[in-house]
Amino acid sequence: MNRILSIIAGGIFAALLIVLTVGIVKNNGSRVREKDETSSTVADTSAQTSEITESFTDFITDVTEEISDTTASAVSEFTATERTVSAVSSSATQKTTERITSGTTAKKTTEKITSETTAKKTTASATTAEPVSSSTTKPAVGTYEYAYAGFNPQYIKITDANWRTVIVNRHYIIDKNYKPALANSVTGDPNSKLLDSRVAPYYNKMYLAAKADGIILTPLSGYRSYDLQHTNFENKITKYVNQGYSRVKATQEAAKIILPPGTSEHNAGLAMDIISLEQSFENTAAFKWLMNNAADYGFILRYPKNKESVTEIVYEPWHWRYVGVDTAKAIKASGKCMEEYFGLA
């Protein structure tokens, strides 16, 4: 750029010199005309002017060529610089894009791996969720009506293989739509309470055996529908609420006496309440007969005394559960309650 300025300054100086020279020439020409000088002098002056003009023309041509070459060089350098900057910018942009793309891809890959790992853990958890028991079970969905009071039972499926020994309590619940085939507990008495049709014949045998000994084992409460169990349980909750208990506490207290719907053996038709619902029943001849003979017909005292912390139900001398003759004798001999015997305590 300094070089271009120097050339331009030189050109301006030369132009001034030429203008001055032309002025001198014109002045001399005027003097020649005025003084009527000879034509020879004018011819000489013209020749000088021609030489000066030619020299100026050559100088201007050189200056123009120099400026053109310098400008072209500058333009070339600027273009090269621009291309370099563009290339650097393009390279940086490409690398940044690649870095972002790489980061995004890595993030997506990590998220996919995490998602797959979580899914595998969830599947594994669901697979190992079934408890060890005498029944086939599946996890509850967490929507049980009384979950607010701490009841989170697991659903069980009663099958031909497990129906005798299936555990039904506040931790293992049957579906509300489950209903076994039913039969009267006392043959020939259409008003007798109903039981699972597989259990009824055994109760009838026990009833007849006790009757022969002068004991009448009046069937008081056998199969109970889910809806009836629900009504009874709600009534008990209301009773405690009216006594000043909170809903949660009232529900917990009610469950010690009446099991929540779906968690009672009555809902499965596998148990019978006999003669009385009073603990004083333990002092009767009928209770003594049952303690000595019920196992021979496949029945056990389901909620024995001093096992309340295990069964989570108050002592009920009237509640007898069918489990099969061999199992009943084994449980009676062990001195354990059903949860203890099957390792669920």
**For position 345, what pLDDT does the model report?**
87
* 99-103, 167-171, 237-241, 299-303, range with the lowest pLDDT: 99-103
Tell me the pLDDT tens digit for each residue of 231-267: 999 999 999 999 999 999 999 999 999 999 999 999 9
Which residues are paired to 303 by β-bridges?
A: 316
- Residue labelled with tokens 């972002």: 100
Report percent pLDDT > 90 for the chain.
57
Does the structure show a pLDDT above 80 at 202? Answer: yes
SS3 317: strand
CA 137 to chain centre: 24
Give pTM, 2 decimals.
0.60
Does the structure show a pLDDT above 60 at 320? Answer: yes
Tell me the pLDDT tens digit for each residue of 277-298: 999 999 999 999 999 999 999 9
SS3 115: helix
The average pLDDT across 287-310 equals 98
Which residues are paired to 156 by β-bridges?
A: 137, 174
Q: Amino acid identity of 180?
A: P
Tell me the pLDDT tens digit for each residue of 2-44: 555 555 555 565 555 554 544 544 444 444 344 444 344 334 4
CA distance 189 to 315: 30
Is the Cα torsion angle 236, 241, 244, 246 positive or negative in sign?
positive
- Residue labelled with tokens 């506490």: 249
The average pLDDT across 112-132 equals 35
